Amino acid sequence: MAERIWRAWWRHNNVPLATIESWSEENLTEAPIPFALVAHENGVFAGTASVIADDLDERPNLTPWVAAVWVEPPFRQRGVGRRLVDDAARACFALGTKRLYLNALPAREAFYVLGGWQPIEREVGPHGVIVFSRNAPTPG
Ligand SMILES: CC(C)(COP(=O)(O)OP(=O)(O)OC[C@H]1O[C@@H](n2cnc3c(N)ncnc32)[C@H](O)[C@@H]1OP(=O)(O)O)[C@@H](O)C(=O)NCCC(=O)NCCS
């Protein structure tokens, strides 16, 4: 999982793989957050999504975040990404989180809006990301 996240977002910035591996190891502690989900089929890695406390330097007051959503190209367009994001959100709400955040480039807006995420801010930070939020379902 760390290797895929590194290849997708960090390798081209010269961040060593060991840095991402050490972040991933934080998923293995007793703390409920961070955690990561892995999708797999017959033992083959298909994708991943994480829930982390901080994801956007410009919005340090918002927490927690669904982040590092990645589906391997041969597994795309089959609902794996949607399922990973939904399961990450459900697990987070089960921990008592009332509001969850996610940031993405505008090209991904339709994917997240169709998945029930609400854009709350646009053009944030140097990459002009959209900040989305999703509220825990109300009981009953
Ligand atoms: C973005 C990403 C995670 C989506 O993953 P995915 O598994 O392809 O997503 P899904 O299959 O759940 O949904 C993708 C689309 O396929 C459609 N789809 C889902 N199941 C489908 C099926 N059985 N048949 C046909 N289409 C389907 C969805 O409606 C969705 O349509 P949309 O693009 O108009 O929203 C994936 O493309 C990816 O890893 N991209 C590179 C990394 C990235 O950009 N990550 C997001 C960072 S914010």
Interatomic CA distance for residues 66 and 34, integer angstroms: 10
CATH topology of domain 2-135: Aminopeptidase (3.40.630)
Mean pLDDT of all residues belonging to the chain: 96
* Contact by Cβ (8 Å): 76, 64: no
Asked whether 4 lines ligand 1 (CB < 6 A), one says no
| Structure confidence at residue 87 (pLDDT) | 98
Q: Whose CA is nearest to atom 16 of ligand 1?
A: 77
| pLDDT tens track for 10-34 | 999 999 999 999 999 999 999 999 9
| Structure confidence at residue 51 (pLDDT) | 98
Q: Whose CA is nearest to atom 12 of ligand 1?
A: 79
- Please choose from 37, 69, 77, 109 the residue to mutate so as to test ligand 1's pocket, defined by most ligand atoms within 8 A of CB: 77
User: From the first residue on, what is the mean pLDDT of each consecutive set of 10 residues in the chain (140 residues)?
Assistant: 94 95 94 97 97 97 98 97 98 97 98 97 97 92
| Structure confidence at residue 139 (pLDDT) | 78
Tell me 78's DSSP state. Answer: S
Indicate the domain borders of the chain.
Answer: 2-135
Q: Whose CA is nearest to atom 41 of ligand 1?
A: 70
